[in-house]
Amino acid sequence: MGRRRAPELYRAPFPLYALQVDPSTGLLIAAGGGGAAKTGIKNGVHFLQLEQINGRLSASLLHSHDTETRATMNLALAGNILAAGQDAHCQLLRFQTQQQKGKNKAEKADSKEQGPRQRKGVAPAEKKSGAETHQDGVELKVENLQAVQTDFSPDPLQKVVCFNHDNTLLATGGTDGYVRVWKVPNLVKVLEFKAHEGEIEDLALGPDGKLVTVGWDLKASVWQKDQLVTQLHWQENGPTFSNTPYRYQACRFGQVPDQPAGLRLFTVQIPHKRLRQPPPCYLTAWDGSTFLPLRTKPCGHEVISCLSVSESGTFLGLGTVTGSVAIYIAFSLQRLYYVREAHGIVVTDVAFLPEKGRGPELLGSHETALFSVAVDSRCQLHLLPSRRSVPVWLLLLLCVGLIVMTILLLQSAFPDFL
């Protein structure tokens, strides 16, 4: 039996580092680039239109936004506002879509094509900031808003950005170890504090205003504004390794399925140093209010590079530095899906198809869909088939039948049983 392969949804003309999915429009937003080096590799943000064609989910390039000399390394989405981490800066972008009245024949013919493709007539290198793109009856306009420097280390780099629950604030973290919180959309700084000695690897904002940060100093901290609330200790109820230091690689908040007020925090722990025989990485689920560990499970020996949580909190998506992609169920931390070396190089970001908006329409008969991007410039699609479940009425019918058969067998063996 051959190795499982994930379908390639789209291939960009530059390395891809960040990924977002807009639930209302069904746009898949992929960003990256070659940076400021004069290698001829462009930098940009690509807006892809997701469609169901003959039962297959496909993506087509709708608009290419040129980011000039800056590669986008991380993204956060709030409505139609994108926060893009570009070198030491955070750039806000606003995109707007509207239906056109008509489209030309070439576009009509091209829209009949199936599978991953780039639409004819779109030259990513020629699209300028704020330009409009007309494709398939849809008009997309992207404009640059405010930009601000968010990291001030000797080799500055913004490594992570995220919005709060009502999209009025965004938080950034980078190589100088400082968390900075900014108003949206004017990017006025409202908070700044030192969170870690060394780089901040990831951060997550909860609906109650608490902020979780993880860094290269092996610590994971919970903050209320700039006040330390607690530090996370994942090995309290899990494995202990006296000779193998671990650090937190990623953190994400997620809902508790069927509990509107419930909240979970998920973290990934990886070995701090590369070893010839690598120990396993670990997934931990935490109570979102007490920040006590609920469950910790190993998630393989490949080093985890990124983490995503589905909109309902049901699934976790993981990417690895060796290019593999996996989907886990959040409740039990059990692996449901795995493609070894899907990309063959480090997976830089993963994102689930939203479960609201156009999500159900695009998902079809599958239970969930995960997108992955990597330095190999490819965006891949990972579909989880619906898990078959036995109806309750059938279980009851089987139980009744089993009881009747048992009684009949006893009656035949012992005539005086009844």
What CATH number does the domain containing 296 carry?
2.130.10.10
Q: What is the rounded distance in angstroms from the CA atom of residue 133 to the CA atom of residue 131?
A: 7
127 is a domain residue? no
CA 247 centroid distance within chain = 20
CA 108 centroid distance within chain = 32
Q: What is the rounded distance in angstroms from the CA atom of residue 270 to the CA atom of residue 267?
A: 10
Alpha carbons within 13 A on the beta-carbon side of 47: 28
Same domain, 395 and 371: no
Same domain, 298 and 400: no
Tokens read off for 249: 């690689």
Tally of helices (H runs) and strands (E runs) in the chain? 3, 29
The count of structural domains within the chain is 2
Range of the domain at 409: 390-417
Identity of the residue numbered 167? N
Same domain, 80 and 168: yes
401 is a domain residue? yes
Same domain, 82 and 165: yes
Q: What is the rounded distance in angstroms from the CA atom of residue 153 to the CA atom of residue 174?
A: 8
Same domain, 318 and 409: no
Q: Would you state the pLDDT for residue 379?
A: 98
Same domain, 187 and 303: yes
Alpha carbons within 13 A on the beta-carbon side of 273: 5
Q: What order do you get walking across the sheet with 315-320 strand by strand?
A: 304-309, 315-320, 325-329, 334-339
126 is a domain residue? no
Same domain, 208 and 73: yes
CA 396 centroid distance within chain = 40
277 is a domain residue? yes
268 is a domain residue? yes
Q: Would you state the pLDDT for residue 102?
A: 53
Residues 6+ apart with CB under 8 A from 74: 17, 18, 84, 85, 158, 159, 160, 161, 349
Same domain, 158 and 287: yes
Q: Which residues of the chain have pLDDT under 70?
A: 1-3, 100-137, 237-238, 240-242, 387-395, 416-418
122 is a domain residue? no
Which residue blocks in 217-371 are alpha helix, DSSP H?
A: 359-363
Same domain, 344 and 397: no
Same domain, 201 and 308: yes
Same domain, 266 and 145: yes
92 is a domain residue? yes
For 54-157, list the strands marked E by DSSP: 56-66, 72-78, 81-86, 89-99, 132-135, 138-149
Same domain, 191 and 150: yes
Q: Would you state the pLDDT for residue 136?
A: 54
CA 55 centroid distance within chain = 24
Prediction pTM value: 0.85
394 is a domain residue? yes
